[in-house]
Structure 1
Amino acid sequence: MIALINPVSSGAALADAFWEEGADCLHIYSAGLEPSAQSPAAQHTKPYHHTDLQDTAAHLAAHGVHTVIAASEYGVTLADELSQELGLPHHDHRLRGARRDKHLMAQALAAASLPHARTTLVHTEDELRAALDDEPTFPVVVKPVNSAGSEGCLIVDSPEEALDVFRASTGRVNLMGEVNDGYLVQEFLRGTQYIVNTVSHDGKHLLAEVYAERIDYVDGAPMLRHIISRSAFTDAEQHLVDYVLRCLDALGIRDGAAHTEVMLTAHGPRLVEVNSRVMGPCLAPDPYQAAYGYSHQHLTVERFLRPEEFDKRFPLPHGPARTVAKVFLRPHREGVLTAMDGLRTMRRLPGFHSIARLPVIGEPMQDRYLTTGACGIAFFVHEDTELLQHSLATLHDIEDAGGMFRLEDLTNGG
C-alpha cells in the first residue's frame, strides 16, 4: 500500500498514473486541500483528512502502508514527517528542512561545497536594510522563504523598492497556506534558467527531462513564458546536469521525483531551488509521452511499482526523439475574459499538440505573473526544434499584441 500525500495540482496526475496501473494507494489531504474533481483516481479513492501526525501515521500503519510519497509541494514536509514516524525508507530526514526552506537549502549547498547564490534571510525591516547594505550591486531578488509558483518573487532595483515589497507581503498567507514571516535577499542571477526533472532510487538519480526556460521580466516580476526540452547537451549544459545531481545529494534526495530549477550563469550553474516532487503545475501526460515515451509521473510510478524495470534505464543515454514545449499562456493585461480569439490561430501553428486548463469566459483572468497555469497551458511537440521555436515566437507575439484573449475592464465586466 502506497500513501500519496496531498495529491493536488500536478499530484492529481501522479495519483491517476498509479490508479491506471491498479496500484493500491491511500490519498491523504491536509486541512483546506480537497480531491480534484477531474481526477479519476480521486473519484475512486476515499480520502483521509490529516489533522494529527500520530493519528495519520496510525491510519497508514493500519492499512499496511510501506511507501509514503509527497504528491505535491503541499505534501513534501508531511511526507517526510510520516515516513520518519513510521520508520519507512525515504529521503534523508536530517535535511528535511532544507528541502522546503530556501535559506536552509542554500546552507546545505554551502556545506557540500557547491556554488550557490548569495542569500540572506531577513525577518524585519532593519534586517532587510542591513542585508541590502551588504549587497554589492542591484538588482537583487526578494522572495518569501517558503512560497511557491513565483508568488511574491520580485526583482528590485533599490532599497526603497525592496522595503515596499516586504511591507506589502510580510504577514500574508501565501499559496502554500503558510504565513510569509521570512524573506530572502538573493543576488540576481543573470543567464538562462533550466529545469531538470529526475526520479531517484536508493540515492541514484535518473535524468528524466531537461528544459530551457524563457523568462520575461514585467513590472519587476519574473514571467515564465515557456519551457522547451533539451536532448543534446552543450558542455555547459552537461556541467549543469552534473551540478544538479550533486545538489540532490546535498539535500538528501533518495527516492522518487524531484523538480529542480537552476540558472546557467557566466560563472557556471547556480541553484534556484529543488522541489522533491513531480513537476507542476500541470502534467497532462500525452505531450510528454509523445516526446519521451514517458511522463514524469509515469516514470515515478515505474520506480515504485517496477523498480527492476526502472533500474534498466540508468545505462541508457538521454536523448528523446522529439522536442516538447510547454507554454504558460498570458493575457496582455488584467480584465474579464470575453473571448479567446487567438486559439484558432494557435491550433494551426506547426507542432501544436494540445491545451490544458483554459480560463473560463465571463470570469476575471487570474494573476498573470504566477506559474500556476491559471491562464491556460499549451503544449507543442515536433521533431524539428527550430520550427517549434518559430511557432513559440509567433504565439508570444500574438499574446503580447493582445490577440490571444479578448478582455473587458474589470470595472465594466465584473
Structure 2
Amino acid sequence: MIALVNPVSSGSALADAFWEEGAECLHIYTDGLSPVAESLAARHATSYRHTSLPETVRHLAAHGVRTVIAASEYGVTLADELSQELGLPHHEHRLRAARRDKHAMAQALAAAGLPHARTVLVHSEQELSAALDGRASFPLVVKPVNSAGSEGCLIVESRERAMELFRAHTGQVNLMGEVNDGYLVQEFLRGTQYIVNTVSTGGRHLLAEVYAERIDHVDGAPVLRHIISRSGFTAAEQELVDYVLRCLDALGIREGAAHTEVMLTDQGPRLVEVNSRVMGPCLAPDAYQAGYGYSHQHLTAESFLRPEEFAKRFELPHGPARTVAKVFLRPHRDGLLLAMDGLRTLRRLPGFHSIARLPIIGEPVRDRYLTTGACGIAFFVHEDTALLQHSLATLHDIEDSGGMFRLADPDTGS
C-alpha cells in the first residue's frame, strides 16, 4: 500500500499515474484540501482526512502502508513526518526544514560547500531595515520564506519599495495556506533560469527533464512566460546539471521526484529552490510522452512500482529526440473574459500539441503574475527546436498585443 499525501494540483496527475498501473493507494488530505474533480484516481481511491500525526500514523500502519509520497507541495512536510514515524525509506529527516524553508535551504547549501545566492531572513521592519543597510546595491529579490507559485516574489529597486512590500504582505495567508511571517532578502541573480526535474531512488538521482525558462519582469514581478526543454547541453549547462545533483544530496533528497529551479549566472549556477515533489502546476501527460516517451509523474510511479526497470534508465544517456515547450498563457491586462480569439491562431502554430486549464468565459482572469496556470497552459512538441522557438515568439506577440484574450472592465462589462 502506498500513501499519497495531498494529491492536489499536479499531484492529481501523479495519483493518476499510480492508478493507471493498478497500484493500491491511500490518499491523505489535510484540512482545506479536497480531491481534484477531474482526477480518475481521486474518484476511485480510498481517502483519509488527516487530523493528527498519531492518528494518521495508526491508520497508515493498520492499512499496511510501506511507502509515503508527497504528492504536491502541500504534502511535503507531512510526508516527511509520516515516513519518519513509520520508519519507512524516505529523505533524510534531519534536513526536513531545509527542503521547505528557503532560508534553511541556503544554509544547507553553505554547509555542503556549494555556492548559493546571498540571503538574509527577516521577520520585522527593523530586521529588514538592517538587512538593506548591508546591501551595496539594488535590485534585490524579496520573497516569502514559505510560499510557492512565485507568489509574493518581487524585484525591488529601492529601500522604500522593499519596506512597502513587507508591510503589505506580512501576516497575509499565502497560496500554501500559511501566514507570511518571514521574508528573504536575496541578491538579484542575473542570467538564464533553468528547471531540472529528477527522480531519485536510494539517493541516486535520475535526470528526467531540463528546461530553459523565459522570465519577463512585469510591474516589478518575475513572470514566467514559457519553458523549453534542452536535450544536448553546453559545458555551462552540464555544470548546472551536476550542481543540481549536488544540491539534492545537500538537502537529503533520496526517494521520488524533485523539481529544481536554478539560475545560470556569469559566476556559475546558483540555486533558486528545490521542491521535493513533481513539477507543477499542470502535468497533462500526453505532451511529455510525445516528447520524451515518459512524464515526470510516470517516471516517479515506475521508480516505486518497478524499481528494477527504473534502475536500467541510469545506463541510458539523457537526450530526448523532441523538444517540449510549455507556455503559461498571459492576459495583457486585468478584466472580465469575453472570448479567447487568439486560440484560432495558437492552434495553427507549428509544433502545437494541446491546451490545458483554459479560463472560464464570463469570469475575471486570475493570477496574471503567478505560475498557477489559471489563464491556460499551451504545450508544443517538435523535432525542430528553432521552429518551435519561432512559434513561441509569435504566440507571445499575440498575447502582448492583446490578441489572445478579449477582456472587458469588470464594472462596465465592456
TM-score category of the 2 structures, normalised to the smaller one: over 0.9
Tell me the SS of whatever aligns to 1:412.
Answer: coil
Residue 40 of structure 1 corresponds to 40
Residue 313 of structure 1 corresponds to 313
Distance 2:47 2:68 in 1: 15
Q: 5+ unaligned residues in a row in structure 2: which ranges?
A: none
Q: 5+ unaligned residues in a row in structure 1: which ranges?
A: none
> One-letter code of the match for 1:124?
S
Deviation (angstroms), 1:135: 1.1
Tell me the SS of whatever aligns to 2:15.
Answer: helix
Deviation (angstroms), 1:45: 1.3
Distance 1:401 1:54 in 2: 55
Residue 233 of structure 2 corresponds to 233
Map 1:50-65 onto structure 2 (within 5 A).
50-65=50-65
Map 1:85-96 onto structure 2 (within 5 A).
85-96=85-96
Residue 18 of structure 1 corresponds to 18
Does residue 328 (structure 1) correspond to residue 328 (structure 2)? The answer is: yes
Tell me the SS of whatever aligns to 1:19.
Answer: helix
Does residue 75 (structure 1) correspond to residue 75 (structure 2)? The answer is: yes
Distance 2:152 2:257 in 1: 25
Tell me the SS of whatever aligns to 1:321.
Answer: coil
Deviation (angstroms), 1:46: 2.7
Distance 1:176 1:354 in 2: 28
Map 1:260-299 onto structure 2 (within 5 A).
260-299=260-299
Tell me the SS of whatever aligns to 2:233.
Answer: coil
Residue 139 of structure 2 corresponds to 139
The answer to whether the Cα contact below 8 Å between 2:117 and 2:189 also exists between their aligned partners in 1 is yes
Residue 372 of structure 2 corresponds to 372
Deviation (angstroms), 1:413: 3.1
TM-score (norm 1): 1.00
In angstroms, what is the RMSD of aligned CA positions?
Answer: 0.6
Residue 101 of structure 1 corresponds to 101
TM-score (norm 2): 1.00
> One-letter code of the match for 1:21?
E
The answer to whether the Cα contact below 8 Å between 2:97 and 2:104 also exists between their aligned partners in 1 is yes
> One-letter code of the match for 1:87?
G
User: Once the two structures are superposed, what CA deviation does each residue of 1:329-373 show, in whole Å capped at 9, x if it has no partner?
Assistant: 000000000000000100000000000000000000002100000
User: Once the two structures are superposed, what CA deviation does each residue of 1:37-84 show, in whole Å capped at 9, x if it has no partner?
Assistant: 100000111321101000001110000000000000000000000000
Distance 2:135 2:26 in 1: 48
Distance 1:103 1:125 in 2: 18
Does residue 189 (structure 1) correspond to residue 196 (structure 2)? The answer is: no
> One-letter code of the match for 1:203?
G
The answer to whether the Cα contact below 8 Å between 2:336 and 2:408 also exists between their aligned partners in 1 is yes
Q: Which runs of 4+ in 1 moved over 4 A?
A: none
The answer to whether the Cα contact below 8 Å between 2:25 and 2:46 also exists between their aligned partners in 1 is no
> One-letter code of the match for 2:374?
A
Distance 2:407 2:319 in 1: 42
Tell me the SS of whatever aligns to 1:199.
Answer: strand
> One-letter code of the match for 2:243?
Y
Distance 1:412 1:379 in 2: 34
Distance 2:43 2:309 in 1: 29
Tell me the SS of whatever aligns to 2:161.
Answer: helix
